[in-house]
Copies of this chain bind each other. A is one copy, B any other.
Amino acid sequence: MSPTPSAVALIGLGKMGANMARRLARGGVTVHGYDTAAETRQALSAEYAQITAHDSLVSAISALPQPRLVWLMLPAGEISEQTLNTILPLLSAGDVVIDGANAYYKDSQARAARLRALGIGFVDAGVSGGVWGGDNGYTIMLGGHEADIARVRPLVEVLAPAADRGWLHCGPNGAGHYVKMVHNGIEYGMMQAFAEGFALMEAKQDLNLDLAAVSEVWRHGSVIRSWLLDLTADTLQQDTTLSDIQPKVPDSGEGRWTVLEAVELGVPAPVISNALFMRFASQGKHDYASKLLAMMRKAFGGHAVGKA
């Protein structure tokens, strides 16, 4: 196990960032966190002596000993050239920036090149584990130069479920976010597979199946046992009707990027793509197509069309 680094700046203390700060603090790391939300800052600072929550990027980064480790944990899409433009003047050659949010791996590769030109290291870190990672540890997928990974390793050994497993130096820059992208693409497919299966059981009304009980029994010995099933069982235990839930599923960039990659590589990805498309449909993005289909049926067959 590597020696624990003295300190890291953790930029973004949202759902993921805050739990990571806690896990790092418990692992003996000094965390200089930054977030725009005052209550988040106060709560975290109060919880752990090892966490100092700052109200400015300058303050957080300046508090670090050199060479610095700056871990960005901003919501997907918010790490922009503008954010980097703010941070970069505060850094020096030898510092290492880690982007732990979801980002398109090609963007990460471009960012790595840009920072490298300034002598600053860049590590793209895919982080999985959701809101449970603070307790269970996170799976961490890293892309970057060997030397930069070595710098980041002590943090990662604390964040992962154990020092010797649950994290991987996947390859050069971009590899971390690439593997995370694929991970999430698989996640889309798995989720949709479960959703289809439970929907089939829900619709088979004459068998009157208890979906909560079914989800629970599958957790023990079945081929499809998985963490997603565990979570699904928890959900169904509370309510199987889902009657007050809106049937609308957002999508973030990861599923989309996976499909772009399938197209670019010429590799079939029907399951991941169709899982993504069903989310689009749930957002009402198939409505125009459906309207046109209804009108076509009317045009050739005289079939009735409903009014919106």
Binding site for B on A (CB under 8 A): 15, 128-133, 136-141, 160-162, 165-168, 170-172, 174-175, 178-179, 182-204, 207-210, 213-214, 216-218, 220-229, 231-232, 234-235, 242-251, 256, 258-303, 305-308
Contact = CB atoms under 8 A, between A and B. Distances in A.
Contacts of A184: 223
A192 B271 contact: yes
Interface of A is mostly: helix
Nearest to A173: B207
B228 A286 contact: no
Contacts of A262: 196, 200, 277
Contact of A183 (B141, B197, B207): B197
Nearest to A170: B209
B217 A141 contact: yes
A261 B200 contact: yes
Contact of A185 (B139, B179, B200): B200
A272 B196 contact: yes
B200 A246 contact: no
Given A297-B249, A305-B246, A267 B291 contact: no
Contacts of A197: 182-183, 185-186, 189, 258, 272
B274 A278 contact: no
Contact of A308 (B139, B185, B232, B247): B247
Given A195-B293, A196-B289, A138 B221 contact: yes
B296 A194 contact: yes
B299 A246 contact: no
19 contacts: A139-B217, A162-B220, A168-B213, A170-B210, A171-B208, A185-B196, A191-B293, A193-B193, A197-B258, A199-B267, A199-B268, A199-B289, A202-B288, A228-B300, A231-B300, A245-B307, A265-B285, A270-B274, A271-B271
